[in-house]
């Protein structure tokens, strides 16, 4: 198959005039993509599916190809470590670009010429298990060359019990117990935020007769309605933006709204407003601690709006879970998390712009289900799940981590 694919790619790349450079080469490929026949496109899809099969069978979470940085190789992330796939022949940057463009429909290719980036989802049939596997994908430019990351989406959802939340925190997260409020799941890319959100949705879906609207870019795990009716709205396909999805959700009789990411001021304001109308909202942020999450939301809006946003956030925020995936002693990864439950003291600290006080409130809030990242890393170290070095490396507050470990 590889030789046939190489021949198809070489023939197509050969039509690109040598005088066209940089991003214009990608544009030229897009404009002339119909010169590839249907049989050629099917073979290119088969090549991608072959790579994804290798990815699954090697327990990789991500696959990377294309762009300047790959040196022509396919790269996998296996248990947190990136490594090239040496048993697969290298491809040129143009060949990789054609493979990537073949995954997109016409509208997506047109969008790529304008935005230079596109998020999308992809599904293929994994023959050995006779099941569909979904991937979250991001196509982008790397030194004028088209590159792609694809992340495997688990076909199963982790039970929420496996995440180790305190019973008091589960009450806060439960729509049956608390009908409204904003709960944030935060962490860097690859920290398992989406998996935690899916676990929360699946938990409600087992017993809560509610209407859940999921707005994400892209939609990853697809839930089947059980006790809940669950709507999936993918940004760019089903709705134009996160903000539009949130505003439209108000007219769709929701109980729970899942916002895949609060990535801009408009989405943040929409999320606060929809929560203020009495809905239960879950969303994510790319932050590494509860305090940083609060500060980030306030800092994202115009200074003239910050006081109003600070007060509104204090009124609607009910919990923040900040998580990391830490390399474990068995060579895999384990979840470490910081948990903030918003009580009267935390609410007052937010309103009075004293967020620096919140860390100690978390540190002393164990009876409410709260814990700092450092306390959770200490727990994982004492239970012999992670090394001392990783406990220190993944802490947010190194000095506090040293104090905790010194007391062991």
- Rounded CA-CA distance 283/359 in Å is 21
Looking at residue 110, its pLDDT comes to: 87
- Rounded CA-CA distance 26/98 in Å is 9
Looking at residue 121, its pLDDT comes to: 86
pLDDT tens across 292-344, in order? Answer: 999 999 999 999 999 999 999 999 999 999 999 999 999 889 999 999 999 99
CB burial of residue 384 (10 Å; 0-12, 13-18, 19+): exposed
The CATH number of residue 238's host domain is 3.40.50.300
Q: Are residues 390 and 355 in the same domain?
A: yes
Looking at residue 350, its pLDDT comes to: 97
Q: What is the dihedral of CA 198, 199, 205, 207, to 10 degrees?
A: -170
Looking at residue 187, its pLDDT comes to: 95
Average pLDDT, the chain: 92
Looking at residue 128, its pLDDT comes to: 85
Percentage of residues of the chain with pLDDT beyond 70: 100
pLDDT band at 198 (very low <50, low <70, confident <90, very high): very high
Mean pLDDT of 224-250: 92
CB atoms within 10 A of CB 162: 9
Is 80 exceeded by the pLDDT of residue 102? Answer: yes
Q: Which of these, 63, 64, 66, 62, lies nearest to 147 by C-alpha position?
A: 66
For the ranges 48-52, 201-205, 357-361, the lowest mean pLDDT is seen at: 48-52
Q: Are residues 168 and 136 in the same domain?
A: no
Looking at residue 219, its pLDDT comes to: 86
- In the chain the first and final C-alpha atoms are separated, in Å, by 58
Q: Which of these, 79, 22, 67, lies nearest to 328 by C-alpha position?
A: 79
pLDDT tens across 264-291, in order? Answer: 899 999 999 999 999 999 999 999 999 9
Looking at residue 382, its pLDDT comes to: 95
Looking at residue 307, its pLDDT comes to: 95
Is 80 exceeded by the pLDDT of residue 408? Answer: no
pLDDT band at 120 (very low <50, low <70, confident <90, very high): confident
Q: Are residues 98 and 177 in the same domain?
A: no
Q: Are residues 181 and 127 in the same domain?
A: no
Question: Which of 98, 125, 153 corresponds to the end of one domain?
Answer: 153
Mean pLDDT of 39-52: 92
Q: Are residues 352 and 205 in the same domain?
A: yes
- Rounded CA-CA distance 45/144 in Å is 24
Number of independent structural domains in the chain: 2
Q: Are residues 146 and 180 in the same domain?
A: no
User: Which residues on neighbouring strands pair with residue 259, listed in sequence order?
Assistant: 215, 283
Mean pLDDT of 11-36: 91
CB atoms within 10 A of CB 279: 23
How far is residue 103 CA from its own chain's centroid?
A: 20
Looking at residue 407, its pLDDT comes to: 76
Block residue for tokens 């956030």? 313
Looking at residue 89, its pLDDT comes to: 86
Looking at residue 87, its pLDDT comes to: 86
- Rounded CA-CA distance 72/147 in Å is 11
Q: Are residues 61 and 135 in the same domain?
A: yes
Q: Are residues 82 and 167 in the same domain?
A: no
How far is residue 78 CA from its own chain's centroid?
A: 17
pLDDT tens across 150-186, in order? Answer: 998 877 899 999 999 999 999 999 999 999 999 999 9
Is 80 exceeded by the pLDDT of residue 143? Answer: yes
Q: At what angle do helices 38-57 and 2-13 cross, to 10 degrees?
A: 130
Listed in sequence order, the DSSP H helices in 188-280 are 193-207, 242-249, 265-276
Q: Are residues 68 and 87 in the same domain?
A: yes
Block residue for tokens 């895999």? 332
pLDDT band at 360 (very low <50, low <70, confident <90, very high): very high
Q: Are residues 364 and 335 in the same domain?
A: yes
The CATH number of residue 9's host domain is 3.30.450.90
Looking at residue 129, its pLDDT comes to: 82
pTM of the model: 0.79
Q: Using DSSP bridges, classify how beta strands 211-216 and 181-186 pair: parallel, antiparallel or unpaired.
A: unpaired
SS3 category, 236: coil
User: Which residues on neighbouring strands pair with residue 211, listed in sequence order?
Assistant: 229
pLDDT tens across 249-258, in order? Answer: 999 999 999 9
Question: Which of 114, 138, 153 corresponds to the end of one domain?
Answer: 153
The domain in which residue 247 lies consists of: 160-406
Residue 314: in which H helix or E strand, if any? helix 306-316
Question: Which of 93, 127, 153 corresponds to the end of one domain?
Answer: 153
- Rounded CA-CA distance 306/56 in Å is 45
Q: Are residues 304 and 192 in the same domain?
A: yes
CB burial of residue 383 (10 Å; 0-12, 13-18, 19+): exposed
- Rounded CA-CA distance 363/373 in Å is 9
Q: Are residues 197 and 101 in the same domain?
A: no
């Amino acid at each position: 198959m590889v030789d046939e694919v190489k021949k198809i790619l070489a023939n197509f790349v050969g039509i690109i005039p040598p005088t066209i450079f940089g991003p214009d080469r990608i544009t030229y490929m897009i404009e002339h993509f119909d010169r590839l026949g249907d049989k050629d496109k099917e073979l290119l899809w088969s090549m991608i599916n072959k790579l994804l099969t290798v990815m699954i069978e090697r327990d990789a979470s991500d696959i990377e190809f294309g762009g300047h940085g790959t040196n022509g190789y396919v790269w996998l992330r296996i248990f947190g470590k990136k490594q090239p796939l040496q048993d697969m022949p290298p491809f040129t940057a143009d060949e990789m670009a054609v493979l990537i463009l073949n995954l997109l429909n016409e509208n997506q290719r047109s969008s790529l010429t304008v935005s230079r980036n596109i998020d999308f989802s992809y599904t293929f049939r994994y023959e050995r298990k006779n099941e569909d596997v979904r991937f979250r994908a991001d196509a982008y430019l790397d030194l004028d060359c088209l590159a792609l990351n694809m992340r495997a989406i688990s076909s199963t959802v982790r039970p929420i019990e496996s995440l180790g939340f305190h019973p008091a925190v589960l009450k806060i997260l439960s729509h049956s117990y608390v009908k409204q409020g904003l709960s944030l799941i935060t962490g860097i890319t690859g920290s398992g935020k989406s998996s935690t959100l899916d676990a929360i949705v699946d938990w409600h879906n087992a017993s809560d007769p509610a209407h859940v609207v999921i707005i994400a870019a892209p939609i990853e795990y697809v839930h089947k309605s059980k006790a809940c009716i669950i709507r999936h709205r993918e940004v760019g396909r089903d709705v134009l933006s996160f903000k539009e999805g949130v505003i439209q959700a108000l007219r769709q009789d929701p109980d729970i709204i899942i916002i895949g990411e609060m990535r801009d001021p408009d989405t943040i304001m929409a999320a606060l407003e929809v929560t203020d109308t009495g809905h239960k909202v879950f969303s994510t942020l790319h932050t590494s601690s509860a305090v940083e999450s609060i500060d980030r939301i306030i800092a994202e809006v115009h200074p003239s709006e910050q006081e109003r946003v600070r007060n509104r956030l204090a009124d609607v925020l009910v919990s923040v879970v900040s998580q990391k995936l830490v390399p474990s002693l068995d060579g895999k990864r384990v979840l470490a998390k910081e948990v903030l439950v918003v009580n009267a003291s935390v609410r007052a600290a937010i309103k009075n712009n004293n967020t620096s006080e919140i860390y100690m409130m978390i540190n002393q809030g164990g009876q409410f289900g709260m814990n700092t990242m450092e306390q959770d890393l200490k727990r994982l170290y004492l239970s012999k799940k992670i090394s001392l070095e990783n406990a220190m490396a993944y802490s947010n507050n190194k000095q506090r981590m040293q104090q905790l470990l010194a007391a062991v």
